[in-house]
Amino acid sequence: MKEVSAPILIVDDDKDIREILSALIEREGLKPLLAQDGDTALKMIRSKMPDVVLLDIKMPGMDGMEVLKLVKDLDEDLPVVIITAYADIYGAVDAMRVGAHDYLAKPFDNHEVIRVVRRALAERNLKQKIRNLSMRVQGGGYLKEMMGPSDAVSRLISDVTCVAKSDFTVVILGETGCGKELVARAIHQASPRSGGPFVPVDCGAIPDALLESELFGHAKGAFTGAESQKPGKFEAARSGTLFLDEIPNMPLGSQVKLLRVLQDKRVCRVGGTKSVSVDVRLLAASNQDLDDLVASGAFRQDLFFRLSEFSIKIPPLRERKEDIPYLAKRFLDMTNLELNKSVRGFSESALEALFAYNWPGNVRQLRSTTRRAVLMANEMITRRHLDLKSGAVPHLTFTAKVQGTPWKDISLKEIVGRSTIDVEREVLVQVLRHTGGNKAKAARMLQIDYKTIHNKVKKYGIKL
């Protein structure tokens, strides 16, 4: 009997290679996912969560080395097997220095392909078991190790320890890159549900039209391309924890259905007629203030009340700068090991620069900055090795206008909600002018995801 299907992502611009590897993978009872280029591969990694990636090193556009580095930023434990020709074995060796798990040379030996994939799967499973055990045993110690020794982190650990023992729904608030998923995983691993699955879903990475199918599953024939019945993430997380990251990106119509599932603890697949029970704990995260979104009508108030049985706010890195030396040293040690280097540390000027910087991308940005510095440095990281370009939002000028005497007819909260919409639109207009209409750059500066800024530009009718 074949074992439970594990998703294996095959990335190659050669259609014949994709089909050959897909047939091999499928014959083994595993699930092939196919991508013809690097951009498609990265989108699939975010949404499909493969267990192993088979990656061609030579592709037009974004080549395999670029994709490998981005994959490691997304999930450093995801095994990536490089596909190469015999003539380019040195390229595969370079890729392994960057973090590739193994390589396969063309033409393939079928048994070797399966052996390498099975070994990569076993290593990923082992790492996950070790991490889960470590998190269960260490509890708050794990979060302190991952986030730093500051008093702010200690208070955060206290909140996590308190709520983990319950089955409360939790909203985790924090800017992009501050560690919301890390906190969610810590809650799961310290809870009575730690033996069940932890299933993360990025609501900002899935198109609106597909989000309900991803969450609730779909019946055969529910829509074009639905050739078979598919369970959703709620069913995948049964007896465990479902983590909905960046939940404000969820359309209002889907919010209604999510509320119904939380109340009834039953889910009906898209296009289906029967509902199935789901025993799931829900954790949600947002990089925006949900109170403001409720006031502006962008988020349902009833769902907000249902989700926020307990709230945890993660302070941004600029408000806990005492964690910076600890985290920078930790990232330095990890990168030294990965690159087989022995960079000793940071010069005084480099440390001063790290402290002076505002870190709009938080811990994620500090990690990327440190990794690049280790790559560039020989013995010591100096100021010139740090790529600390300004990420500040330009100076904004706006005036919130309240027309007439609205207090006669509506509440203060409604007045503030309407004014918030005007202010939000003006901020977007000014930042987009500053970036020359570049929405991706504006999203980074405002510390929101691309889908959010795209939707708001459309909602407010902002012309670029």
Range list of H helices, 224-381: 233-236, 252-264, 290-296, 301-307, 324-339, 348-356, 362-376
Q: Which of 80-84, 85-89, 224-228, 288-292 is least confident?
A: 85-89
CA pair distance 223, 221, nearest whole angstrom: 5
Question: Are 72 and 98 contacting, i.e. CB atoms less than 8 angstroms apart?
Answer: yes
E strand intervals along 296-379: 310-313, 345-346
Strands 230-231 and 217-218: antiparallel
Instruction: For residue 380, give the H/E element and its range.
Output: strand 380-381
The span from the CA of 35 to the CA of 33, in Å, is 7
Domains 7-133 and 142-313 share a fold: yes
Residue of 455 and 27 predicted with greater confidence: 27
d(CA 158, CA 163): 9
Is it the case that residue 351 has pLDDT exceeding 50?
A: yes
Instruction: Compute the mean pLDDT over every residue in the chain, rounded to the nearest whole number.
Output: 85
Q: Which two tokens stand for residue 344?
A: 């000793």
In the predicted model, is pLDDT for residue 115 greater than 80? yes
Does domain 406-460 sit in CATH 1.10.10.60?
Answer: yes
Residue 171: both structure tokens together: 């909203």
Instruction: Residue 143: name the closest of 130, 125, 129, 159 by CA.
Output: 159
Asked whether the beta carbons of 442 and 432 are under 8 A apart, the reply is yes
Domain 319-385 has CATH 3.40.630.10: no
CATH number of 7-133: 3.40.50.2300
Tell me what the mean pLDDT of segment 291-300 comes to: 89
pLDDT computed for residue 105 by the predictor: 85
CATH class of the domain at 142-313: alpha beta
Model confidence, pTM:
0.60
Residue predicted with more confidence, 455 or 222:
455
Q: Quick check: 65 and 41 in contact, CB under 8 A? A: no
Reading the block at residue 120, the tokens are 């990569």
Give me the pLDDT at residue 309, please: 94
Q: What pLDDT, in 10s, does the model give residues 122-174?
A: 888 877 766 655 554 444 567 888 899 899 999 999 999 999 999 999 999 99
Question: Is the link from the previous residue into 406 a cis peptide, with omega within 30 of 0?
Answer: no
Domain ranges of the chain: 7-133, 142-313, 319-385, 406-460
Host H or E run for residue 233:
helix 233-236
